[in-house]
């Protein structure tokens, strides 16, 4: 271990550095660009993991394009939902709730329904946060049973 080198670099402890090849940028612009790059990287992470954008089951170019278009629309909807939930300022047990795009698709995958006789649907939800989501989106999602017309009405009334 080079103790002299460690001591020389100790002044950087607790700080981070941005390395760039763009020498004409001022500090604030370099920080802003780095922040933008982090956002882009997060979008790629979300699209690959949460939305599964890799077109593994399609091979025709037109199908690949449609697959990516669908995934892009899903990403836009996901980010819009994330913003709407976070702007609602919902309080959780430990303070304000923070919703992130990571986890939201899984949360909604757990919200399912089954058709039962007499034009009725039974809803199943195995995740947390349903009350917070209802409040933020101004929707009533917690009802266990609904008729098809009621479901259509909820969808039509959504923003």
Average the pLDDT over 93-100 and give the result: 61
Question: Side-chain half-sphere of 78: how many Cα atoms within 13 Å?
Answer: 22
The whole-angstrom separation of Cα 121 and Cα 147 is 6
> What phi and psi, each to the nearest 5 degrees, are found at residue 3?
-65, -35
Sheet holding 145-147, edge to edge: 111-116, 120-125, 145-147
| Of 16-25, 48-57, 62-71, 138-147, minimum mean pLDDT range | 48-57
Quote the tokens at residue 6.
Answer: 């460690």
Classified as helix, coil or strand, 114 is: strand
16-60, pLDDT tens digit by residue?
777 778 888 888 888 888 777 777 777 777 777 766 666 667 778
Cα 76 to chain centroid, rounded: 9
pTM score over 0.85:
no
Length of the chain: 159
């Amino acid at each position: 271990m080079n103790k002299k080198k460690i001591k020389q670099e100790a002044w950087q402890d607790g700080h981070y550095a941005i390395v760039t090849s763009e020498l004409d940028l001022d500090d604030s612009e370099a920080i802003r660009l780095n922040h933008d790059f982090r956002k882009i990287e997060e979008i790629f992470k979300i699209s690959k993991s949460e939305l599964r954008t890799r077109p593994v089951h399609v091979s025709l170019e037109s199908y690949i394009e449609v697959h990516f278009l669908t995934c892009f629309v899903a990403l836009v909807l996901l980010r819009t939902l994330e913003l709407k939930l976070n702007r609602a300022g919902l309080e959780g047990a430990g303070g304000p709730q923070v919703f992130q795009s990571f986890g939201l698709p899984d949360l909604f995958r757990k919200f399912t329904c089954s058709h039962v006789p007499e034009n009725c649907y039974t809803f199943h939800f195995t995740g947390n946060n349903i009350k917070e989501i209802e409040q933020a989106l101004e929707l009533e999602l917690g009802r266990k049973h609904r008729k098809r017309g009621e479901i259509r009405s909820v969808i039509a009334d959504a923003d």
